[in-house]
Amino acid sequence: MKAEARQPEPLADQWELIGEAVNEPGWDVWGSTPIRDDEGRTHLFCARWPGRIPFDKAWRRNSEIAHYVADRPEGVFKFVGVMGKGAGKGWNAVGYHNPNIRRVGGKYALVFISNDGGPRHGPNQRIGMMTADHLDGPWKLVPDETKPLLSPPDDTKIWCHGSRCGVNNPSLLPHPNGKFYLYFKAQSNRRKGVSMGVAIADKLEGPYVIQEDPITANDRAIEDCYAFIWRDHVCLMTTDNHGILERGGGLIWVSKDGIHFEERPLSGYHHLGRFYLKNNRPKNIKHHYTAQTKFERPQLLLDKDGEPAYLYCPSGSALDGSDGTNAYVLRRRKEAE
């Protein structure tokens, strides 16, 4: 009899906190997305902005995307350079933020959000894509420099028509069926709060078509999804800031086709302060964004067998009292795999 295939499982109890991945004095660091190169080094692409600017204003207008590299997934990562920043005009005038990187065939694709710098931040958020043949660039915008990869839909039948947060926080997934699935967060016009949606394209460069319905059955807002293939399922790891399972933790949404997700998610990671620090917060901790000591914007590095191996998250609290926020890395315990 053929052995039953392993199913996705809760991961929250399986992570151990290693420490800081990126700590860059004078900068707030956010949204670290990992990828390995052919030599085995690990690269992180992170959003960052000068720490002297108030946090909530800065990520919207002053964020840029920086490149870091380390010999090992645990880091510590060294700054390489800035690979994306606002063009000063157009849809991507300011606020390059929340990157997500993938290797697609012989090239690299990085999706991100940006906005036009106008006074109504939220509805003006759009998703862009840059591609390169090498992780060190050069990077170019696709489909071209004049328009984003994804905008809110004009069709009133689509669930996120009129979204008050535009389309944002993307994660790109090359689907086993040969298409490209772009997952994103938007405001629903059908129920309170924000949900996850997906846009599908036949080619990497698009066009991406937003599907009519949201894909997650959340009754409270979620965000920051990371899409990955795990044990023959499409999974999304998101935040759980409002307590679907654990306030301040993370969730894993599971699907067989990448469109229809199970209503009840799995636990993805725990609250930083309560669980991984065991309520022993350092005395010199500095809160830059909320007083909660929790993780945000989770992204994974998978091992050669496709198992989640490392989890990268920023936190609004600098555990070592740094003058800016940092990116942290957690490692999955070997006995748990």
Tokens matching residue 55: 């946090």
pLDDT of residue 191: 80
Beta bridge partners of 115: 94
- pLDDT higher than 90, residue 40: yes
Average pLDDT, the chain: 96
pLDDT of residue 150: 98
Beta bridge partners of 74: none
> For residues 202 and 209, what is the distance between their CA atoms, to the nearest angstrom?
10
Alpha helices in the chain (DSSP H): 55-61
Q: Per-residue pLDDT tens for 104-161?
A: 999 999 999 999 999 999 999 999 999 999 999 999 999 988 999 999 999 999 999 9
Specify the fold of 12-336.
Answer: Tachylectin-2; Chain A (2.115.10)
Taking the domains of the chain in order of start, what are their residue ranges? 12-336
- pLDDT higher than 70, residue 312: yes
Beta bridge partners of 287: 317
pLDDT bracket for residue 337 (50, 70, 90): low
pLDDT of residue 190: 85
Residues 6 or more apart in contact with residue 144 via CB below 8 angstroms: none
Q: How many CB atoms lie within 10 A of CB 146?
A: 9
Tokens matching residue 281: 């917060």
- pLDDT higher than 90, residue 192: no
> For residues 175 and 208, what is the distance between their CA atoms, to the nearest angstrom?
14
pLDDT of residue 193: 82
Q: Dihedral through CA 271, CA 277, CA 280, CA 286, nearest 10?
A: -70
pLDDT of residue 2: 45
pLDDT of residue 76: 87
Q: Per-residue pLDDT tens for 225-281?
A: 999 999 999 999 999 999 999 999 999 999 999 999 999 999 999 999 999 999 999
pLDDT bracket for residue 4 (50, 70, 90): low
pLDDT of residue 62: 97
Residues 6 or more apart in contact with residue 211 via CB below 8 angstroms: 197, 198, 199, 200, 259
pLDDT bracket for residue 334 (50, 70, 90): confident
pTM of the model: 0.97
pLDDT of residue 303: 97
pLDDT of residue 336: 61
> For residues 183 and 198, what is the distance between their CA atoms, to the nearest angstrom?
4
- Greater model confidence, 155 or 334: 155
Q: Per-residue pLDDT tens for 44-98?
A: 999 999 999 999 999 999 999 999 999 999 998 999 999 999 999 999 999 999 9
**DSSP for 241-285, written as a single string:** TT-SSSTTEEEEEEESSSSSB-SSPEEEE--IIIIISTT---TT-
Rg (CA), the chain: 19
Contact present, 160 and 167 (Cβ < 8 Å): yes
- Greater model confidence, 152 or 334: 152
pLDDT (mean) for 33-41: 97
